[in-house]
Structure 1
Amino acid sequence: MSSASQLAKRFREVLLDGVWIANTNFKDQLSDVTREQAVTKVGSLNTIAMLTFHIHYYIAGVLNVLEGGDLEIKDQFSFDLPPIESEEQWKDLLNRLWTDSEKFASLVEQIPDDKLDEVFVDEKYGTYRRNIEGMIEHSYYHLGQITLIKKMLTHP
């Protein structure tokens, strides 16, 4: 299996269908979260909706580069979640996350292994490999937060 295929598999594991590292994934954790739960604040923690938006923001931004576009995302906007006022808006956010995650993984699979060690957009961002691995690690970090917040909401 190519390095790119292995990275795509690891990415799918954390977002869509894996249980190897955390015994869960984003899709599993978020599948039964209601809009009300998603926007409920627990102390000073970010909401589940905010963390979901945040992860999607980065996936969509890097996906744009993988599709041949520019890197247009800025860290300062990564938590700028518009109000989620209906269950439909919450489900729409989730569906965009699932769709963009699958597109992301599919495009990663197509990266030639020698390109993984090339500069990603600008030298300050490192290589393609570093950015893809960073996306996986970042996702696991926030998956842990979502899992804990969900437990706090459902078992007060």
Structure 2
Amino acid sequence: MSSVSQLVKRFREVLLDGLWIANTNFKDQLSDVTWEQAVSRVGSSNTIAMLTFHIDYYIAGIIPVFEGGTLDIKDKYSFDLPSIESQEQWERLLNKLWSDSEKFAELLENLPDSKLDEVFVDEKYGTYQRNIDGMIEHAYYHLGQITLIKKLLENQ
């Protein structure tokens, strides 16, 4: 299996359909979360909705780079979640995450293995490999938070 194929598999596992590392994934964990749960705080933690937006912000922000465009996202905006006040708005955010995740995976599938060692946008960001691995690790980190917040909300 090529390096790119392995990365695509790992990305899909954490976002869309895997069970290997965490025995769950974003789609599984978020499938039964209501909008009220998604915007509820547990202590000073981020909300499930904020973490969902945050992960999608980076996925959506890297897609243009894979399409030959520029990297225009800024960390300071990665938690700027618009207000969610209905199930429909929550589901729109989820559908955006699923759509962006599928698009990211498809673009990644078309990346030649040789591109993995190339500079990603600017030398300060490292290589494509480093950024894709970082995206996957970042997603697992926040998946753990979402899973914990969900359990805490269920026990309130």
Q: Using structure 1 for the length normalisation, give the TM-score.
A: 0.99
Instruction: Work out the CA distance in 2 between the residues paired with 1:68 and 1:28.
Output: 32
Q: Does 1:155 align with 2:148?
A: no
- Greater mean deviation of Cα atoms: 62-71 or 72-81: 62-71
How far apart are residue 63 of structure 1 and its match? Answer: 1.0
1:8-52 CA-to-partner distances (Å, cap 9, x unmatched) read 110000000000000000000000000000000110000000000
Question: What do you get for the CA RMSD once the two structures are aligned?
Answer: 0.6
Length, aligned pairs only: 156
Instruction: Work out the CA distance in 2 between the residues paired with 1:152 and 1:18.
Output: 23
**Identity rate of aligned residues, in percent?**
78
Q: Does 1:44 align with 2:44?
A: yes
Q: Using structure 2 for the length normalisation, give the TM-score.
A: 0.99
Aligned-partner residue type, residue 52 of structure 2? T
The ranges of structure 1 where at least 4 consecutive aligned residues each deviate by more than 6 angstroms after the TM superposition are: none
* Secondary structure in structure 1 of the residue aligned to 2:41: coil
> 1:78-117 maps to which residues of 2 (within 5 A)?
78-117=78-117
Unaligned runs of 5+ in 1: none
**Aligned counterpart, 2:6:** 6
How far apart are residue 69 of structure 1 and its match? Answer: 1.6
How far apart are residue 85 of structure 1 and its match? Answer: 1.1
1:125-156 CA-to-partner distances (Å, cap 9, x unmatched) read 00001000000000000000000000000123
> 1:131-146 maps to which residues of 2 (within 5 A)?
131-146=131-146
Instruction: Work out the CA distance in 1 between the residues paired with 2:124 and 2:106.
Output: 25
Instruction: Work out the CA distance in 2 between the residues paired with 1:98 and 1:8.
Output: 15
Instruction: Work out the CA distance in 2 between the residues paired with 1:107 and 1:3.
Output: 14
How far apart are residue 68 of structure 1 and its match? Answer: 1.8
**Aligned counterpart, 1:124:** 124
> 1:22-61 maps to which residues of 2 (within 5 A)?
22-61=22-61
Instruction: Work out the CA distance in 2 between the residues paired with 1:59 and 1:152.
Output: 27
How far apart are residue 64 of structure 1 and its match? Answer: 1.6
Instruction: Work out the CA distance in 2 between the residues paired with 1:70 and 1:90.
Output: 28
Unaligned runs of 5+ in 2: none
